[in-house]
Structure 1
């Protein structure tokens, strides 16, 4: 014990002459019932220490030597000492624990710091002066809480409230006043109270602001400029207002018996046409506002659309009109051809109201499907008409062989451009042939079938006709179907047989006693010619 007293005295004297400042700058903050840690800047490498003394003001907390610890009665069970760093933890804090704390580490280290102890924040409440306001009035909120050294922050639904030309925060922050209240001030407000060791927040207080009516407007469903007679129309009225506005209805300035935000017009007729409006009224602000009006009009639906042609049979080159007829209110007409917009020209024109489509001289390219679309703002309908331009026959042609052998098939095909399709008549050398189809067919040709074939095409609607001719030669006799050499041998044979009869030879000679024709140029035909000449000369001898 004597050694401990000598150590304390030595440390005290050393501390008066040299302070190393081994504690953090203060103040440190503690909460009633909580704990605080006095941590020195020393480490285990700085030890071991000859002695350590902690004190609060003039009262000793603990004295420590390598061989002994002495904790003073007021701190028994409330402290934890850490010999390796000379640090100290103080528990179960009370308001009386606030003050200056010192540590002396022998031989030459010391430090001092301050501890502030606070009671926890509790019982935070907000009291409104009024919570149901009319726009452009004022309100105040007062915040209260238990505990000393309190600070206040006001929060609305989304952020912190700060002072401005309309917002005043007074009484150390505990009172919030808002002047010229607007609808945007209608939200929840809270008060946040705090001290260095704790904080608390109040329950929300809802501020309600009555305003309006404003922005009173109405709408129609379905929304359109014109309505078909017999339609049901729903009118809706709305306004920015708190509390919700009450509504009355007017047509052409005359009040209707209906009330409420909805007005339904059923099976509307032309007689109900007019300017409709609604009026909103706020029972709290005692003001009203009337909406802009909406014109409600009814139209008759488009019906009985048809296209009528000026003639039943449309012949190329004639003048034709198509008239689009329809019933209903305010019809407008649009024409299309084969699904595309109609192209007008000097030959194809429309009347001023698009009712009559005129072809000054109709052409075959004007054939196609024509559509007249009739519409008004509430309906539409269409009619179709197909123009068939009758023309022709044109470009009459005959297809087939011009040289065949006897007993071969004759096949000739006649074609013509014509609407409707042409009928056909065949002639051979000017004489009509039985049959009227586009194809002339004979299974076995005869020599009498050689000649000029004429195909006559006729259009029964245009009453026009056109012809084409085709020359056909049918080869007959021994030469039929043989080559030039074959023909020569056949002829030679024939002449030999003929030579057996003197009479026949005489006749033959008489009939052929004339100068032979010049030889042909083709090699094979020339050989035939020479062979025939030799035979002829021998027979003649």
Structure 2
């Protein structure tokens, strides 16, 4: 009876010792696995710059730095180089451009080209390691140029086209400026071909610019020289005033200067008429010296644009008071305006000059 009890007690103690030993072995194995994972699995690749500029240098570093006794670098499935100890073998397409630092595992490429863009992988069996990253290499923007389809455009009937181009540059983004503000796109103003072409439909005088094209990518940018469209318009929006005066009534013996203006590009040719008859004066000013009563009447300024073949006119009534202070009887301005047109029709229809087409059009 005593022997049986002693045997059971010894068996229980042996079992406990075995369980304790197994737990210790499991803990050691688990610790080794954790250390292996931390040593080989938790490794990242950090590019020195991304995206990189074509022609520059890029280094792909391991974090943490790891001494690799052997291994390889590849991009897109194509080997760049391999090494064993101190010996490196660089593949022909990377000859003179690629090297590895076996103390840190870092790959250096110099100079980089656009074709170097891709997914990079480093592998090693001593120690066991694999990591990857992606980089892009971009060509810098150069020689931004802005060209136009034509230089002279007719208002309301012509359309403008300007094209922005670069000599080189990867993934260019195009931005247009009108003077110093961003171009506003609308029903008449369109950007096409990846925003590289500006289209303005039925141009107006407010579309002349200057326009500038700004091109950029993540590594560089460039700006074109400003260009202007020449918009032909007018004459219109005419004004006829008495220079330095706010009245159209004057005393006999006064000096009067009439000033005529019109919105026009190129500037309109201006001709003066009095009571329907042309006077021997052209240009924006009509000077009347030592005026008399018989100079009372309608004065008309005629404007003509040779390029648009358009004309316009404006009339004002000038009244000259006699010495007694009374005013002479003036004809109706509307009637005198009709007389003006009739007078011009008969007196100028045979004359050469820019106003002949206008007169023929009225008749």
TM-score, normalised with respect to structure 2: 0.64
The structure carrying a bigger strand percent of its residues is 1
CA distance in 1, matches of 2:250, 2:102: 92
Tell me what 1:329 maps to: 325
2:262 is the alignment partner of 1:234: no
Task: Give SS of 2:51's match.
Answer: strand
Say if 1:294 and 1:187 are closer, same or farther in 2 by CA, change over 3 A: farther
Say if 1:264 and 1:103 are closer, same or farther in 2 by CA, change over 3 A: same
User: Is the CA contact (8 Å cut-off) linking 1:236 and 1:263 kept in structure 2?
Assistant: yes
Q: Deviation per CA, 1:116-160: give whole Å up to 9, x if none.
A: 223333343333221201101212223333345444333332233
User: How big is the shift at 1:283?
Assistant: 1.2
User: Is the CA contact (8 Å cut-off) linking 1:26 and 1:114 kept in structure 2?
Assistant: no
Task: Give SS of 1:184's match.
Answer: helix
User: Is the CA contact (8 Å cut-off) linking 2:49 and 2:58 kept in structure 1?
Assistant: no
2:207 is the alignment partner of 1:189: no
User: Is the CA contact (8 Å cut-off) linking 2:208 and 2:231 kept in structure 1?
Assistant: yes
User: How big is the shift at 1:56?
Assistant: 3.1
User: Is the CA contact (8 Å cut-off) linking 1:26 and 1:113 kept in structure 2?
Assistant: no
CA distance in 2, matches of 1:246, 1:160: 36
Q: Deviation per CA, 1:443-464: give whole Å up to 9, x if none.
A: xxxxxxxxxxxxxxxxxxxxxx
Q: Deviation per CA, 1:273-328: give whole Å up to 9, x if none.
A: 2232312111111111112414343465xxxxxxxxxxxxxxxxxxxxxxxxxxx6
Say if 1:70 and 1:270 are closer, same or farther in 2 by CA, change over 3 A: farther
2:269 is the alignment partner of 1:246: yes
User: Is the CA contact (8 Å cut-off) linking 2:98 and 2:107 kept in structure 1?
Assistant: no
Say if 1:78 and 1:26 are closer, same or farther in 2 by CA, change over 3 A: closer
Q: Which 5+ residue runs of structure 1 have no aligned equivalent? A: 1-13, 301-327, 331-541
2:245 is the alignment partner of 1:223: yes
* Root mean square deviation, CA, Å: 3.7
The structure carrying a bigger helix percent of its residues is 2
Say if 1:257 and 1:129 are closer, same or farther in 2 by CA, change over 3 A: same
Tell me what 2:28 maps to: none
Say if 1:100 and 1:218 are closer, same or farther in 2 by CA, change over 3 A: same
Task: Give SS of 2:144's match.
Answer: strand
Q: Deviation per CA, 1:152-210: give whole Å up to 9, x if none.
A: 33333223335321122222333222111101111223333344433333333321101
2:147 is the alignment partner of 1:124: no
Tell me what 1:311 maps to: none
User: 1:107-186 alignment to 2 at 5 Å?
Assistant: 111-136=131-156, 137-147=158-168, 149-186=171-208
CA distance in 2, matches of 1:173, 1:108: 50
CA distance in 2, matches of 1:135, 1:232: 40
Q: Deviation per CA, 1:243-280: give whole Å up to 9, x if none.
A: 10111112334332211111111122233222323121
2:74 is the alignment partner of 1:56: yes
User: How big is the shift at 1:79?
Assistant: 5.7
User: Is the CA contact (8 Å cut-off) linking 1:213 and 1:240 kept in structure 2?
Assistant: yes
CA distance in 2, matches of 1:290, 1:119: 59
CA distance in 1, matches of 2:102, 2:152: 61
User: How big is the shift at 1:80?
Assistant: 8.4
Q: Deviation per CA, 1:352-401: give whole Å up to 9, x if none.
A: xxxxxxxxxxxxxxxxxxxxxxxxxxxxxxxxxxxxxxxxxxxxxxxxxx
Tell me what 2:119 maps to: 100
Task: Give SS of 2:294's match.
Answer: helix
Say if 1:267 and 1:108 are closer, same or farther in 2 by CA, change over 3 A: farther
Task: Give SS of 1:271's match.
Answer: helix
CA distance in 2, matches of 1:165, 1:24: 48
CA distance in 2, matches of 1:56, 1:126: 42
Q: Deviation per CA, 1:401-444: give whole Å up to 9, x if none.
A: xxxxxxxxxxxxxxxxxxxxxxxxxxxxxxxxxxxxxxxxxxxx
CA distance in 1, matches of 2:43, 2:155: 61
Q: Deviation per CA, 1:205-242: give whole Å up to 9, x if none.
A: 32110111111011212214233432222211111111
TM-score, normalised with respect to structure 1: 0.45
User: How big is the shift at 1:71?
Assistant: 5.3
User: Is the CA contact (8 Å cut-off) linking 1:187 and 1:208 kept in structure 2?
Assistant: no
Count of paired positions: 280
CA distance in 1, matches of 2:72, 2:184: 46
User: 1:322-401 alignment to 2 at 5 Å?
Assistant: 329=325
2:282 is the alignment partner of 1:282: no
Of 263-272 and 75-84, deviating more is 75-84
Higher CA-based Rg = 1
